[in-house]
Amino acid sequence: MAHAERHYSERIGWLRAAVLGANDGILSTASLVMGVAAANATRGNVLLSGVAGLVAGAMSMAAGEYVSVSSQADTEKADLARERHELGSAPDFEQRELAAIYVERGLSQPLADEVATQLMAHDALGAHARDELGLTEVHAARPIQAALTSAATFAVGAALPLLAVVVSPAAWLLPAIAISSLLFLALLGGLAGYAGGSSPWVSAGRVVFWGIFAMVLTALVGRLFGTVV
């Protein structure tokens, strides 16, 4: 019977990129448009700056994630290549090394030797990748997936503050952006916590705290800059 149990760790690859992208999209775009709005800019200029921030941010997220995760993937490939070479040149040593890992985890020496022998006979590279290097299929680096997920979720997140700019009255522009963005951040944080198996309230509280800090600081800078100019 196949093992059908699902674990939260299986979501790490896409969840990290999705949460990071959406959170950054909401927070950076909301802060940007609040800073511009606080400088007494027109609604059109506020919206234009927000759209430019959305496009630039999505591309930046995609490029950054791709480069970062590609570097991780290159490191994993280099480790696997070295391990493959060592398995070919010194298999006995590699078997003893694997057995020593199992002894450290609590197995007796005879049982550790037997487990190492059987696992290496079945898939030597896979056994060493998993137990020596800590590499698994679940946590494998996927640069394209991370880049596309980050760009898409950033764009979705950034669109939410822009929607507030479009629909809110001019007199209530700043509070409308702030309140709606904090609600979106709280919802995102709660969903991320739930999906990752942690407390939704704690996760929501973290993003709301930093969201308030970022938006207040940016609005103050925009207000001061607008006054000077």
- Is 72 inside any structural domain? yes
Q: What is the pLDDT of residue 41?
A: 83
Distance CA 54, CA 91 (A): 53
User: Is 4 domain-assigned?
Assistant: no
Q: Is the pLDDT of residue 177 over 80?
A: yes
Structural domain harbouring 220: 9-228
Tell me if 30 sits within 8 A of 177, measured CB to CB: yes
Would residue 1 count as lying in a domain?
no
Any domain includes 3: no
CB contact set of 162 (below 8 Å; sequence gap of 6+): 29, 33, 47, 50, 51, 54
pLDDT tens digits, one per residue of 104-159: 888 899 998 898 889 888 888 888 888 888 776 555 667 888 888 888 999 999 99
Give the predicted TM-score (pTM) of the model.
Answer: 0.69
| Number of domains forming the structure of the chain | 1
